[in-house]
Structures are given as structure tokens and as C-alpha cells.
Structure 1
Amino acid sequence: MNAAPEDERRHDAPDTIGERLDRLRGDDFVGRTFELRFFEDYLTRLPERTERIVNVHGTGGMGKTVLLERFRAIAVRFGARFALVDLRDVSGDPGHIAAIVRSQTADADAAEADDAPAAPAGQAADAAAAALNRIAASRRVVLAFDHYEEVGPLDAWLRETFLPKLHANVLVVIAGRYPLEGPWRLSPAWRKLVVALPVSEWSYDDAKTYLTRCGVTDEPLADRLWMQTLGHPLSLSMAASAAAPGAGRSAASLPERLDVRFEELVRHWLREAPDDELRDLVMAASVPRTFHQESLSALIGRPIAPSLFERLVRLSFVERSAGGWHMHELARETVRQSFRERLPDRFAEYRASTIRSLRDRITAALRDGRDMSREAAELLGHIGNPIVRAHFRHSRASRNYWETVGPHNVADAEAYVRRRLSRARDFNIRCSDPETGEPFRFALAAGHSLLALTRLPIRELVERGGEQAVTLLRNPDGEAVGLVAIVPVHEGTLDFLAQAPVSRAYFRALPPQRLQALRKPPRDSDVRYLYIADADDYEREELRSDLVRLKLEHMLGGALLIASPPPFPYYEEGHLSLGFEPVPGAEHTDYDGAGPAPTYALDTRGERMLAFLARVTGSSGGAFPAFAAPADAEPPSEEPVLTPRESEVAALLAQGFTNADIAAALYMSVPTVKKHVKAMLQKYGLKNRTQLAKALPPSRPDRSP
């Protein structure tokens, strides 16, 4: 009675190991929804399209080969014939490509012809094109080329001889590490036939789905793997293997930074750099965040030949940026870590040289009155606060743009606010410090992220503050995905800000003479009130980075910035990490039901910029003094100002409580206690917990700002 179902199951099961592999690969495939729909749309609407070549490109490890297999499944589902040529299997002979194409598209007659002696390359190409065209006359054909970076001189043969022979019912897919360049882009005709399909890292949701399928179900562990790999598919696969699930396997059972088959990953990135000379240059280029030929030459202490630099910038994981070139962030971190471990003295020398160069350029720019925001932002990425460094990891991935709000588009800003208020949701914000691997996680409740929006008088801010007061962040499709209001304080805005909820707390705390000094003409204003910096999805790293970068532009432009965000840890730690300090006497309860909210200030005007940079880089009095505060700068307070939560932790730490004891007493997690202890160590300029306990008085009074 049971034999028939078993036979039935046997019949339905894959017949070969290869078929079983294909099924398992399909089960493991996650994400790439846009790419799959893109390909399906091009395939099904091919007659309506001008383009006939889809160029799938992305740096190594992005899963391009796996994506091509999904393209095959889509083609089969729609009745199209699919042929794949792996250019690693082609030894520079056009006849090999032709033979592979014919073997995958052969009918009975063509199969017999394969037994005949090999034809000359030209004839073989004609025969392969004819075989494809016979099929294309009645159905669509997809011809895919994988690992196109290996094509070599066959690129010209394919472009000039083979592809032009193909029927218009053939869709060509070219996948490789690099976008098609050279003649493909220089020829207007070829340019119109090619459509680019770049592939990038997985989103957090896709990465979490993949990890769940790998058996990683512990959410903190999944978060750590995601933050350490930035969603890079190959790296995440290696990380999942390194964190193979076992009985009770969780984030707490693993070391602070996973060794994700580190050397294997380095070899993967450096496969494109076969000789030692180029590899040495890649190592050097991993130290600065951005570089150009002159800066790298200065870094290594010798001139770099133009031909060698050209080879460097043509690597698939090197991209052009506003300040020169930069490495893909995960490739940079991977190579940089290898450099630091293999050659620690040379790495330290290069890093110190990079920081000195940035320091000198910033100091010169301040002296000459030139903009130095780019250099200062890069310095913060090197030695700034860990939370700031964490925000910089994905910042270059953003293709969003800022649009000033005026009477012509103020309705768009109001529509953004209405949409945010109607679609409120909780956010779990995850990021990690690329230097140490330290994770940061913030829970931002739906109501918390909306408090500032409910108090935002957009039209009044635009009318009084001008078109620079409110800006919208738009994605490449033009949709508003963020909003920032930074209002200049001058004679036209002061009375309004001094009366408006939230902002009034700061101005009421000022003595009359300081308040009167703010009544300047708009052109002379150097004070800004940061009303809000909001994103519609705080879990997207590029949106958070966009907000941080806009704040940095104002901070590094030399201004007094005032802000009073809702009183929650995400906003509090974000402002403190950027160098803001609490303003005594400017607390308020204008955020209904949210408790007392502090007001923060940051002054970077004139020589205060150096003091600010020294503070946020932790370099004042440290082992590597990047900046020294000017002689006439105000001396620091006798005792660092701690946040309310840090004060509570400090009081128990000074009494000898362990981190676990403190966590239990204050109803917080042990990692959160560690985070507060680390922040206090930085503020006190100390190295360890023992030194901090000695520096704190046994019975510490509350120093809430």
C-alpha cells in the first residue's frame, strides 16, 4: 500500500545530482526582485525595445552568476531558449565560443554537425549565429556571457563580428565585474543598444532571509553578520558558515569580530591585482577614504607611474568620487584589515601620514577662509566617534539628492509630513563601527520619530527663513524620502523662534544682551536652529548618512548650531557623537508626554573649529594629537558632562558594581552598559574601566544636562 507513493516521490525527485543542485540553488536564492522583474520585462517586451544587450555588472561576490541562473529559469518559463557562455572556459579562440553556443542550442542536424572536423573561426561563428537565428525566427533566445572581465581580445570579435549577425529576437546578457566601456560607450549606436543593470549588496531584509535559510535565527547574531558584511552576498555566505548554528548558538557566544574566512576574502578582492606592485598600491589605497595619484604618491613616498595608477582605478572595486577615487567600502575594510595585521608598522605609518595630511589641509583651509568640509568629514571617518564612523560606512551608496523648499514646492514638503504621520511604524536601527566591529542598535518607536514632525511649521519656516531653511531629500525617482529644517537665526526669524514651541527654550535661557546680539541682518547670520532632520525609513543606512552629511556641511561651514530633538537615546547619542553639548537651563517639555527634552549647542565658528575637531576625534591630549585647541580657547570644564543615563551607570560603577549588576539594577542590557562605559572613557580620556572607577567620586551627584 505504501509502495506507490514512494515510487511517486522518486519520480518527482531530481534525476541527477546536477538537477538536485539546481533546485537547492533556487531554494537559496533571495532578493534581486528588481533585477528579476527588469529581465522579465525586457524579455517579454523585446519587440517594443530598442536595446538588445543587458549589461549586468558589479564587483566580485555580488552573485551575478547565480542571478544568470535565475534569468535562465525565467526564460524557460516564458518558452525562450537560453544559452550561457562562461568566458573562463574560453581560451581566446572565437571557435570555442561558437562551439559552446551551438552545443547549447543544437537541434538534431546541428548535433550531427558537431561530429564533423572543427571549422575555421569565421565559419564557426557563422554556423553558431545561424543556429541561434533558426530558433529566434520562431521564439525568443537569450544568449548570456558570464565573467566578461575574462573576455580579453575576444571583446572586439564579439562586438564587430558575432553579435551583429544575430536575429533581433535574441536578447544578449553580458555579466561581469565592470560596466561595458570603451567602444561600447564611445559608439552612439552601440550605446543605444546597451542597457545597464548594476547589482549591489543585499538589503537587510534579504540578508536576514538568507541567514534564516542558513540556520541563523538569533536576531542579534543576524544583525552582527549583516553589519560586518554590509550585505555583500559572498561575505555574508562566508560569515554564515563561520557562525554555523549549533546548540544555543547566539551573538553572545561569538567573538566581538568574526574571522569570516578572512584571507580567503582578501584573495577574492585581490584576484584582479595579480602582481605585487599593484597589490602594494591597493593596500596603500585602502588607508585613506579617498585618494588620487598625487596623494597616494605622497603617502607611499615615491612617484606612481600613470600606467600603474590607471590599472588601480580600473579595478572593479574602485570607483570615482567627488574627491578623486575610493574603494568599495567592504573591499576597503577587508584589504585594510589584512594590511594592518600583516604589516602593522607600515600600516600605522600610512595611517598617521593620512591623518597628518588631513590635519594640515584643514588648518590651511581655515587660515585661508576656504571650505574644508570634505577634509574634515574624511578625518571624522578615520578617528571620529564610533557612531559617526558607523554612519559613514554606506554613505557613498546614496544616489539621493537635496531640493530646497520654497513657495513653488512647499506643498510637496507638507505632503511628505502627512505621509510620514499616516504611515508611522517602529524602526530598529543597526550600524557598526568599521574600525572595531562594535555594533550599535537603537529601537525608535513610531511615535518617537513623529514628535518633531507634529511640531513643524513648514510654511512659516519657509516664509521667514527663506528657501534655504527647509530642504527635501529625494530619491532617483523623485520621491521625497527625507526632510531637514535648519533655520538661520537673524532679525527676521528671531522673534518667531523665541516664541515657537521647542525652539523657545533655548532663546528664553539667554541673557538679554546675547539675545539682542542675534538680531543681525540675514547676510550676517552665523547661527542656525536645527529644527528637524527626518527620514521616512530610519533603517536605510544611506538615508541616515544623507542626514549626517547635511548636518556636517553646516557644522564644518563654521556656525553655531542649536538643536532640541525628542528626548530619546537615538537622537541623544547622535547629537553627542557629533560634538553637540547640552545647554544648561534650556530643557523643556514641549514634546507632549515625552519627558524633559535637552537643548544642544555646537559652535564651530572661527578658531573654535579646531577645538571641535580635537573634541570629536578624541585627539586632545591623546596619544595621537590630530589637533590642538587654540591657546585662547575656553578651557574645558573641570569634569566632563555626562548624559542622565551615563550618570546612573557612573554612580554604580564607582561603587564597584559589575556590568551585569549595573544592567540588572537599571533594567538595561549588558551591551548597553558597555556602550555607556565606553562613552565615559572617551569623555574622561581614560583607557580602562578601573581608571574610570577611580576617577569617579564614590557617591556621584546627578549631572543631568
Structure 2
Amino acid sequence: MKEQIKGDETVSLTSYINETEQNSFIGRETEINAFLDFLQDDSPHRIFHIHGTGGIGKTYLLNEFSRYAANQDFLLLKIDANDDFFYSPQTFLEHLQLLFDAHNLSTHELKLGTFQNLLKSIEEHKIIIALDSYEKVSRLDRWIREVFIRHLPTHTRIIIAGKHQLNGEWKASPGWRRLIKEYKITEFNFEETNTYLNQMKTDVDKQSKLIWEFTQGHPLTLSLITLFEDRHETKNVFDSITKNSPDILEELIDRLLEEVNDNRELIDILEVAALFHTFNHESLAVIMDKTISSSLFNDLISLSFIKSTATGWCMHELVKDSIKIVLQKKHPDKTKRIQHKMIEYYFNRTLSTKSIYDIGQFFYHLENEAIQTAFFYRNSDDNLYLEELDNYNVEDLQQFLDEKRTNISQNKVTFFNRSSKQALYHYVSEEHNKIEMELITIDYLEKMGHQSFKLLKNNKGETLGISIIVPINERTLPHLAKEPVSRAYFRQLTEEEWNQFAVPETQHAGWFIRCLDFSDKADAASRSFMLNNLFPLLFTSSKIIISTPLPFYLDLVQSFGFTEVKGATHYDYGRDCPSPSYLLDLTGPKISNYLKQFMKQPADNNRVDKFSNQCGLTNKESEIVKLILDHQSNKEIANQLFVAEVTVKKHVTRIYKKTQVKNRSQLIKQIMEIT
């Protein structure tokens, strides 16, 4: 660097830094092209609004805009709301005047901070005023919109950058809406991430996919990873990530949670919200066992890394996992207790609502690594949907199968679990895919019926995958007993079992999960979406059968409690490829018993439950007794239950009275004597 600078003494350090940043800038082509259009005289827009979560690269993008603006003879003046001068209109104008003076733009004798005189200087130049970190200027928002921007010359451009979308009058007024061009800044895709890594390192090709999975292409996280690697001087970037991920994520959280502003009450509910897959006001209040005001909940869902979903709200995956890892590290017992409450909550909701969402959340909170990683891989289902097969879209199925047959190769899909720092791999050999394409044909469709097939599509109408789940009845049963893969199970049925499956064609006695296939050989998000859509089968009060040689699916079916069927292993995928058959029997009212098998409680918890029933303790009192068994002080219990210490003392007094003991030792002794 010193040699480069010395080579041309006329080049300032600022110019060198700008040139280096420009050469290392990655991606954002769409935003840059839109910005260049925004600078044109015929552009209908006067305000360019970019927003995105913390660490997404908004400030770096503003710097890049500044360089492009200079090429168009515009001067970009950036004002950062993190600085003190955003306190009042006067301090704002004073700072803007100082920026003008620094660029020798003031051509009038000005009284510092005088708005009318400042406008005279603005009129004479092609100026872009960029307001960064705009979420921090709520006190000046109305003045900036109704006074400052309204009186600017028409050739002056404004950029507003922040963590949130502009709302209120910005959106309510048709006039303001027409003036604003808005872009949400998102994470880097895989190619952009790979480019960034290659700029920083020389040998990451074999690790870049895993690094992208870990960071989700989040620019700040990528930067922290390279920083930690430099500190530890390791040649293996991913080894550095897995070793240092708690420290990386803890530093990330410190930066991303700046918008929480040390609000202890908000931090408490934020920590619990991070343990949910998705949450709402009710679920948070139940798990925390406290009333959460509407204003506090609105503060939570207004954070830049919280987004609305069809079932409530969810947290940005990277932020959620970061908070969760830090919480597990600092408060492992508290985290486990909250997670167990969530399991109980969704168990009870599933039994009462029979909701597909609730049973999915039940399995998510079991903390089974295979299920959580494969079935809930990112919140990436916004643009995906399953389409029933009918006459109008059979051609889409045929085209999908034809393309698969002409591009047969091996598949390797990576699901990365940030909490466990482990990758879950789904490998399918080229030979397996070749055999599968020979077996799955339009002839198979005619035998099993349209109702067995669904197409996975995105919001562009493109077919990304197929799902084949055959309903078992008198029409499909003979075909299932003859077709490869399924015949091993159905041929070994007794006459009684066969008759149980042979229900009328309009009904079903079970389901045979035949195939899930995808156009993209490495698309983890589509596979996760398809897997998640298998949950409705658990409410069908029937038998579910699957036969596969693939270790990825074998691990999953065993995690869901499927049992291997003896005598139903086949070699339809090759003589060196045994494929066992698995059965999950949910006939009759068995869903409650089925779910209970996953809710294993420690022996002490069982004792406390029995003891609480005997003594008539409330749920809150029972929870406090469990914490007393863990030898936690009243202060520690208060922290875990999000209540005041004096409240815990009152509960403990009532517990002593109901159980007729005088102190903790006597209470613990009574509980431990229960068999």
C-alpha cells in the first residue's frame, strides 16, 4: 500500500481509499442502475429510498452512489443521523452549511444555519443530500418532509437510507409516493458472496458454499468472519467459523441490536421471540406468563430484522440464531426451560386446533437437529406454492420430467445448522437419479391418478419440483403392489391388512410417500418447503409408508417415529442399494399419544408435576418449585420468569403455606421422597 501511494504523490489518501473501495465493491447492479436513472433530468422521482437490516451494506452503497453521482456532475453530501447534529432543525442546517463550506459551495454571505440563504447555494449546484440511518430521526421526520424537502429546488435529489421503510405521510400521500423510488437492500447471493471471499482470501472455493450458508450472504457477517480469520491466522476459513462462531455472532448481535437502545423490557421479549420459529402477541405472552403491552409488542415488531408472515412474525434467521446461541451460552437452564414451555404450548394447541401450523411448530421446538434443519430451513417459502395436478398443467409435469431425463447427474444439497455448527448433507447418486427417472413416467401418473402429484412452483409460475404422495385405496392398491419401490411393502401384507387398505376410491386408508424431486440439484430452500408441506399427513388418521435407500430421508423418518417393516426391504435401486420400508401408524385417535412420545420430561419434573397436583399448586408456583429444585435463588428465578424478585418471594411464601414446610430444604426433601 505504501509503495502504491508513493508512486503518485499527487493522489491523496482519500482518493486511494475511494479507488480501493470502488474496485472492491460487489453486486447491487439493480440498485446502481436505478440510481443512474434517478439522476436523469426526466426522472419522475426526487427521493431515492433504500432500506434493509443492520449490516446489510447501506452505507457502503451510499459511498458507491457518491462515486457514480460525481461522474454525472452531482455532488453527494451525506448526513449521518448517528451524529449529534440531528437534534433540531437548527443543528441540522448548521451541519449542512458546514458541508457546503467544506466543498467551497457557499457563494453568498451566509448567516450560519439560515435556511433561505442555504437554499440559494443549493439552487446553484447539482446536489444530492443523503440522509443515512434515517430511523434515528423520528423527532425531525415531519420537519424534514414538510419543511426542508418541500422547499428544495426541483433539481435537487434526496436519498433516504435506513433500517425501515418510510411510512405514515410518506405512504399516505399520493404526491409523496410518486416522488419516491424505493429499494429494499438484501443479502448477497452465492455468486456475490464467493466474489467477496475471493477478494479477501485466495483458497475458499471448497468452503464458499458452507460460508454462504452460515452467513446467508450478510455483508457484516462476512466481514466479521474475515476479521476473525485474520486474528487467528488460520488457512481453513470454515474451521475458523465453526470454532469462533459464538464470538462472531456475539459481536454481530452487539452491532445489530443498536436499535434496541438498551431497553431491558424489549430485550427480554426479544430473547424469547428468538426461540420461536414464528411468534405472535399471544404466544409471547403465554410463554413469558406476563401481560405484554401493545406498545411494547409494536416496538418489537417494528425492529428492522422482524418481518410479518402469514402466521405472525418472524425474526431474520441470522439475528435469531445469533441471539439463540448467545442465550444458550449465557443462560442454558433458562433457555431449556423456555423451550420446554414452547413444546407444551404447541402440544396443547395442536390437540385443540388440529392446525398444521401448530403441529409444525411442535416439531420445530423439539430441537431435533435433523427436523429443524431440513423442515425449517430459513424463512424462504414466501414465493413458493404447491399446485394440484390437473389436465391444464400435465404438460408442465411432462416438461419437468423430460428436462430431468436430459440432465441426469448427482445431487448434493447442504442444510447448515448455525446453532450446532454442523452441515446436514443430502446426497443422491447419478445412478439413483437415472433409475428414478426410468420409474417415474406419465404411465405412473395414469396408474396412480392426478391426486398423487403436485407441482412445486414459484411466483413466476416456474416448476421447481414435484411431489408424489399416493393415496392408498382400492384403485391404487393393486398398482402399488406391482410397481417397483412400493411393491416390497404391499406384497407382504396379510389378507386382513390388504382389506384395511382397500377402501373406496373416494377415500384413503393411508399414504405412500413415493418421491420428492427438484429441478435445482442444490436447492435446499425448495426441499425444505416441500418437506414442511408433509405435516398435513399427520392429521389424516391413517398409515404413512415410505421406502428409500437415501440416508438423509432415513434419518428424518426415524426422527418422526417411523418403524422399519421387517421383510419389506428391496433392491429396486440396485443390488448394492438396500431400501428398507418404514411405517407410521396413526389410525384412530392416536395423535395425542404419538406426540407425547416426543415430550420426555426429566424425572424431577415428573415429581414436581405430581407434587403440584397433590398440593394444589398453580402453574406459576409449580414452575417456581422446579427452579428451586435447581437451587436457584429468588433473584435468579425472577430473572428467568421475567418478574420482580418481590413477586417470587410472595409465590414462595404461598408455596410453603400450601405444602406445610418452613424452608427450601424441607420442600426439596418432600419432593424427592415422591416415587
TM band (smaller chain) = 0.7 to 0.9
Q: How does 1:513-552 map to 2 (within 5 A)?
A: 513-552=496-535
In structure 1, distance between residues paired with 2:503 and 2:11: 82
1:459/1:96 Cα in 2 relative to 1: closer, same or farther (>3 Å)? farther
1:547/1:250 Cα in 2 relative to 1: closer, same or farther (>3 Å)? same
- After TM superposition, give the deviation of residue 408 of structure 1 in Å: 0.9
In structure 2, distance between residues paired with 1:108 and 1:387: 59
* Structure 1: runs of 5+ lacking an equivalent: 1-5, 136-140, 626-705
1:270/1:592 Cα in 2 relative to 1: closer, same or farther (>3 Å)? same
For 1:266, give the aligned amino acid: I
Q: Deviations over 1:593-616 (max 9, x none)?
A: 77333333333344443454355x
In structure 1, distance between residues paired with 2:188 and 2:457: 22
In structure 2, distance between residues paired with 1:539 and 1:120: 60
C-alpha contact 1:564 1:600 (8 A) present in aligned 2: yes
Q: How does 1:300-699 map to 2 (within 5 A)?
A: 300-362=288-350, 364-365=351-352, 370-391=353-374, 394-399=377-382, 400-424=384-408, 426-446=410-430, 448-449=432-433, 451-458=435-442, 461=445, 464-466=448-450, 468-565=451-548, 567-591=549-573, 595-614=577-596, 617=598, 619=600
In structure 2, distance between residues paired with 1:161 and 1:129: 15
Structure 2 residue corresponding to 1:232, chosen from 218, 223, 239? 218
1:18/1:260 Cα in 2 relative to 1: closer, same or farther (>3 Å)? farther
Structure 2 residue corresponding to 1:183, chosen from 146, 153, 169? 169
- After TM superposition, give the deviation of residue 282 of structure 1 in Å: 1.5
Equivalent in the alignment of 1:666: none
Equivalent in the alignment of 2:665: none
In structure 2, distance between residues paired with 1:237 and 1:385: 31
- After TM superposition, give the deviation of residue 32 of structure 1 in Å: 3.7
- After TM superposition, give the deviation of residue 579 of structure 1 in Å: 4.0
In structure 2, distance between residues paired with 1:447 and 1:76: 57
Q: Secondary structure at the match of 2:456?
A: strand
For 2:130, give the aligned amino acid: A
1:403/1:439 Cα in 2 relative to 1: closer, same or farther (>3 Å)? same
C-alpha contact 2:5 2:11 (8 A) present in aligned 1: no
Q: How does 1:114-263 map to 2 (within 5 A)?
A: 116-121=110-115, 124=118, 126-127=119-120, 130-131=123-124, 135=126, 143-164=129-150, 172-215=158-201, 217=203, 222=208, 225-244=211-230, 246=233, 248-249=235-236, 258-263=245-250
In structure 2, distance between residues paired with 1:179 and 1:589: 56
For 1:388, give the aligned amino acid: I
C-alpha contact 2:86 2:92 (8 A) present in aligned 1: no
- Asked if residue 269 in structure 1 is aligned to residue 264 in structure 2, the reply is no
In structure 1, distance between residues paired with 2:499 and 2:486: 16
- After TM superposition, give the deviation of residue 314 of structure 1 in Å: 0.9
1:29/1:418 Cα in 2 relative to 1: closer, same or farther (>3 Å)? farther
For 1:84, give the aligned amino acid: K
Q: Deviations over 1:210-260 (max 9, x none)?
A: 333333735676555444433322123222322336365465677656333
C-alpha contact 2:81 2:132 (8 A) present in aligned 1: yes
Q: Secondary structure at the match of 2:233?
A: coil
C-alpha contact 1:53 1:195 (8 A) present in aligned 2: yes
In structure 1, distance between residues paired with 2:405 and 2:537: 27
Q: Deviations over 1:525-567 (max 9, x none)?
A: 14122222122224333212211211223335544222334x3
In structure 2, distance between residues paired with 1:564 and 1:97: 68
1:350/1:203 Cα in 2 relative to 1: closer, same or farther (>3 Å)? same
1:622/1:543 Cα in 2 relative to 1: closer, same or farther (>3 Å)? farther
* Structure 2: runs of 5+ lacking an equivalent: 607-675
1:383/1:187 Cα in 2 relative to 1: closer, same or farther (>3 Å)? same
TM-score of the two chains, using structure 1 as the length reference: 0.75
C-alpha contact 2:447 2:479 (8 A) present in aligned 1: no
C-alpha contact 2:91 2:113 (8 A) present in aligned 1: no
For 1:303, give the aligned amino acid: T
- After TM superposition, give the deviation of residue 280 of structure 1 in Å: 2.0
1:348/1:127 Cα in 2 relative to 1: closer, same or farther (>3 Å)? farther
In structure 2, distance between residues paired with 1:122 and 1:506: 85
Q: Deviations over 1:411-448 (max 9, x none)?
A: 12222232333344554422233442233234444554
Structure 1 residue corresponding to 2:57, chosen from 48, 63, 66? 63
Q: Deviations over 1:6-41 (max 9, x none)?
A: 99995668822222322333344334454445545x
Q: Secondary structure at the match of 1:152?
A: coil
Percent of residue pairs identical: 26
Equivalent in the alignment of 1:278: 266
In structure 1, distance between residues paired with 2:439 and 2:604: 45
In structure 2, distance between residues paired with 1:46 and 1:602: 67
In structure 2, distance between residues paired with 1:157 and 1:119: 15
In structure 1, distance between residues paired with 2:191 and 2:305: 24
1:445/1:302 Cα in 2 relative to 1: closer, same or farther (>3 Å)? same
Equivalent in the alignment of 1:112: 107
C-alpha contact 1:75 1:81 (8 A) present in aligned 2: yes
Residue correspondences, number: 602
TM-score of the two chains, using structure 2 as the length reference: 0.78
- Asked if residue 91 in structure 1 is aligned to residue 74 in structure 2, the reply is no
For 2:146, give the aligned amino acid: E
In structure 2, distance between residues paired with 1:64 and 1:476: 27
Equivalent in the alignment of 2:16: 20
1:488/1:202 Cα in 2 relative to 1: closer, same or farther (>3 Å)? same
In structure 1, distance between residues paired with 2:550 and 2:244: 28
C-alpha contact 1:94 1:121 (8 A) present in aligned 2: no
Q: Deviations over 1:357-385 (max 9, x none)?
A: 222222x32xxxx4232222122222243
Q: Deviations over 1:105-164 (max 9, x none)?
A: 899994333x6222533553x4365245xx3xxxxx755332121222332233333444
Q: Deviations over 1:260-299 (max 9, x none)?
A: 3444323223211122222222223223333222332232
